[in-house]
Structure 1
């Protein structure tokens, strides 16, 4: 918990809010250079309510909630969701989003740290796929202790995710797989 927000397990009631939060967070991509924007697919697939319902039911989805201020209700301003990948013996971060007005306040880093603590308690690593050069993607995750993977250590699951993303129009050279190891964080 920080002074202005706390992290909690997401509830099924949160699920309806999360696709819009994810979509809104994606507006930050408009600040990228034109050559990068031209490489993005015309339609970027965002999560849907079913995506969040599933991870919430598995207790693999957390939200950052801004504390209520005078005359206002608490507000969900960030989300992190994961999938358990048995063959990798790791959690895969399937989504991390922070509402535009809450970006730059440490909420994304707190959500990642929360997920790292969760994985460490379970004695497993975290993996993800992300944009290699986008400042709030791979460089951000590197600052959180993740390392970029290359062949031959990219697992079949991560290779499948990268291929799936390429099938949606993302250039493979723009994407990378990363891993955080609980063993090196002890």
Structure 2
């Protein structure tokens, strides 16, 4: 699938919320993670405040990535792809865009928190060059993000990954 990466218009942000909700539905069938499918979408204010790229296919958002500066690094707050567009390289294109942006900013690394098990989470990021982040490299904001997340999920199901920017 051919896509163009671009920044969204402000009036598109609600559509990105809907895209994220559609992408999360796949969790409904994953043991122990069905609750993720029913979570509220990313707040419009958070989308507006971050750096967002949309993967546009024929005028329709097929995916997006949300980056936020955190501890001198760029945190991947969300990456979502429409279910029917999965497996077609859209997520990889969004990750490549994020890496290029991190290089342009001379950022130390891209970081993220994710579930360990579903194949579209930790395993997918590891296939794209992300590795477990050494605990001593985690800054206070990233630690706070992880602490907020593990209030509602088993900490053993989460991991922090990173990709240093060369």
**TM beyond 0.5:** yes
Instruction: Pick which of 147-156 and 18-27 moved more.
Output: 147-156
1:132 and 2:128 equivalent?
no
| Larger Cα-atom Rg | 1
Cα deviations across residues 18-65 of structure 1 (Å, max 9, x unaligned)? 111000000111232x3x336x4695243022222222xxxx110001
Distance in 1, Cα, partners of 2:20 & 2:7: 17
Distance in 2, Cα, partners of 1:173 & 1:5: 36
Distance in 2, Cα, partners of 1:46 & 1:173: 24
1:18/1:49 contact within 8 Å kept: no
1:114 and 2:97 equivalent?
yes
Question: Structure 1: which 5+ runs fail to align?
Answer: 68-73
TM-score, normalization by structure 1: 0.81
Q: CA RMSD in A?
A: 1.8
Runs of 4+ in structure 1 displaced over 6 angstroms? none
Please state how far the C-alpha of 1:84 moved relative to its aligned partner.
1.0
2:28/2:37 contact within 8 Å kept: no
C-alpha change, 1:182 and 1:134, in structure 2 (3 Å) is same
Question: Structure 2: which 5+ runs fail to align?
Answer: none
What is residue 174 of structure 1 aligned with on the other side? 157
Q: Number of paired residues?
A: 165
